[in-house]
Chains A and B, each alone.
Chain A
Amino acid sequence: MTTLRATALFVGRPNVGKSSLFNTVTGAQARVGNFPGITVDVLEATVRIEGQGELTLVDLPGVYSLARAETEQSEEQITSNFIDQSLRESKDRAVVLQVLDGTQLSLSLQLTRELAARLAGVGRLGLVINQADELTREGRTLDTEALAQELGIPVLLVSARDALARDQVIHFAFKIADHSLVSPLPEALDTEALARRVLRDTAALSDTTQRARTRTERIDRWVLHPWLGPLLFVSVLAVLFAAVFLVADPTTTLIDACNKRLGAWLTPRLGGGFFASFIADGLLGGAGTVLAFLPQIVVLTLVLELLDASGYLTRGVFLVDRAMRKVGLGGMSLVPLLTAHACAVPAIRSTRILRDPRERLITLLVLPLMTCSARLPTYALLISTFFAHRSPWIRSLLFLALYAAGWVAGVLAAAALRKTVVRGRPLPLLLEMPAYRAPERSFVRKATQRAVKSFLRDVGTTIVVASAALWLLLNVPMPGAAMAPSDAPANVQRVQRSVAASMGRALEPITRPLGFDWRINVGLMGSFGARELMVGTLGVIYGLEDVDDNTTPLRAQLRQARDPQGRPRYDGRMALALMAFFVVACQCMSTVAALRRETGGWRWPLFVLGYTYSLGYLLALCVYQIATWLHVS
């Protein structure tokens, strides 16, 4: 017997339970499909059924309509293109399975009309009505035969929470594959009246419906309370932020410790030379950076999936939207922007919750300006070195000002971007508020697993490559760079002779108006690996060990450093300028790698590098000159 092959595309409105039905049907087999040029994850799975053949299932993004496909990369566009493509490619028998919410049938039937029109005479369509259990609970029955007859489209009633749904849906898909082509629905068909005709209320209806409705209503009374509501939403986000922040630190410490041990074990076994050092510091260091992000990605994805699947996220957005619009962004942007204060890398992934592609792009482009935790060691070093003699109030104010500067820069950049590179009016708030539903554990777990996998594959590799390249830059001697013999340790000599040091010296004429000498320039290059590496790189340049644990010797060195004329090499002006540069410049290869993943190319990450570095330079220049004028020392 020949194996039959068929492809079933899952299409449906958001919040009808399409993805959880897909999860029930495909189980562990689902993986992110390899569809080039798409930044939204489209899941794919292949199941084999004895005697039936092979069925490939594709879970397309949720859409309200096929017609509204005005922007590229919108869910509507992706879904629409997939359907057209499946119609063109005739090697597999392609069927479209529309997933409908039985409890809101008339709404879903609008999409049925569009699908039937699109597929008329060329494709096959089946309706899978979900929430059978919910209907029963509400005391309603659905006459699937009458519905199928009136529409001329086969209908299946299932519940995504029921394990039996798997076989039912698969057999249904094969049945549709052999079914005749779909015809358009009659113009005169009133879908609302049809929904009323096929949904029958059993005796206890009004009572139970009322109860189901009041559950969401009851929760909303508290959750959407005029002032308790926003307080709750901001608290939830604060807890999320704290969780991301809290898991980051111990992981980094642990991975650093493991790396140190592994490096110490590996170095003598690899001969202890330059190559061993490259493996131990360059490659292992990069791999460590990647691993250190994983707990943050897990926490953030897990919490956001739970918030989204439960129906709470939209409510939070409803509450804070106005406040965010005042600064030129939408309510949904608050989640990634807040998370970016812990780390921009998981925050970049979390922008997937934004449905407006323009809003999402703007948020992605300004995220790197938020004051992430990796900036803090540098701020702390500079403030404690050059402002130690000032009162604690001034020092704390300086810290606060740095945080505020991140937000101000973000808001201004968003406004400027909207007028230049990302033109177009922001979409006003218009979101469905689904009834509260308990998120399915396996669905959330799988989404988190996918986030980790995609981070390792798409972002991790870029980080490792960039980290290796950066190590070479800081350690490979510049050809022809002769140095006076000194008694400095080998790694210090290596950095002083490195390509990076030569580049740092070459850049001095440009950076001198900011107060940066070649050492600071090399520190900036080193901190492109991760901002917190600034302190360590400066430590190596000054021949100090383990400056991350104790910055006292480094602070003393920075204060005592003199230029050939005997004047202090650095002062408060340089510290302020360097901090200003740090506020704005996207000094983080991991952010760049994550941006590449989420925007699907190098164009936007390069744009971010370009605009944040030029802006950082200008800002640092202004700060240095103003500080000189104000006699800051």
Chain B
Amino acid sequence: MSLDELTLAVPMVIDSIATDASIEARLYALGVRVGESVEVLRRAPLGGAVHVRFASGLELAMDAAIAACVTVRPRVVPVYVGTE
């Protein structure tokens, strides 16, 4: 699932980022990393961009085309069985 298809306000984890090198570098510089938690706060009118928030507190306005290149997966919630 990619970031642009994400349901609003459901935190996920970035699985991969695959776009052209300059945009990847810019995302990296902004502080976007694989493995980081992310949620989509809203979509812009006309569907042009998404407003996303990362676990670091960083919020970005991101073109939907970039968001489509970022895949996400559900957060793994640790389940403890038994007693320690």
Contact = CB atoms under 8 A, between A and B. Distances in A.
Contact of A224 (B30, B51, B56): B51
Contacts of A433: 51, 59-61
Interface in A291-346: 314-315, 317-319, 321-323, 325
A106 B45 CA distance: 31
Contacts of A431: 60-61
A430 B45 contact: no
A430 B57 contact: no
Given A64-B26, A322-B48, A429 B62 contact: yes
Contacts of B1: none
A322 B29 CA distance: 24
A531 B56 CA distance: 52
A549 interface: no
A343 to B, nearest CB: 29
A142 to B, nearest CB: 15
Interface in A54-70: 64-65, 67-68, 70
A136 interface: no
A318 B27 CA distance: 17
Contacts of A65: 25-26, 28-29
A104 B66 contact: no
Given A230-B45, A323-B46, A325-B48, A430 B29 contact: no
A64 B30 contact: yes
Contacts of A428: 23, 63, 65-66
B18 interface: no
A317 B44 CA distance: 10
B63 A430 contact: yes
A429 B22 CA distance: 13
A104 B57 contact: yes
Interface string B1-44: 00000000000000000000011011111110000000001101
A349 B1 CA distance: 43
B25 A68 contact: yes
Interface in B38-84: 41-42, 44-49, 51, 56-63, 65-66
Contact of A106 (B25, B31, B63): B31
A106 B56 contact: yes
Contact of B42 (A224, A317, A429): A224
Interface string A108-121: 00100000000000
Interface string A217-261: 000100010110110000000000000000000000000000000
Contacts of A590: none
B45 A227 contact: yes
A311 B42 CA distance: 17
B58 to A, nearest CB: 6
Interface string A365-396: 00000000000000000000000000000000
Interface residues of A, number: 34
B29 A321 contact: no
B42 to A, nearest CB: 6
A67 B61 contact: no
B59 to A, nearest CB: 4
A161 B18 CA distance: 41
A310 to B, nearest CB: 15
A319 B48 CA distance: 8
Given A110-B29, A322-B46, A430 B62 contact: yes
Contacts of A317: 61
A195 to B, nearest CB: 8
B42 A430 contact: no
A64 B45 CA distance: 27
A103 B57 CA distance: 8
A221 to B, nearest CB: 9
Nearest to B45: A226
Contact of B44 (A64, A319, A435): A319
A430 B56 contact: no
A432 interface: yes
A602 B27 CA distance: 35
Interface string A427-467: 01111111100000000000000000000000000000000
20 contacts: A64-B29, A65-B28, A106-B56, A107-B30, A107-B31, A107-B56, A107-B57, A110-B31, A220-B41, A226-B45, A227-B45, A230-B45, A319-B44, A321-B63, A428-B66, A429-B66, A430-B26, A432-B58, A432-B61, A433-B60
Leading 10 A-B pairs by shortest Cβ distance: A322-B48, A65-B29, A428-B63, A318-B61, A64-B29, A322-B46, A107-B31, A429-B63, A433-B59, A431-B61
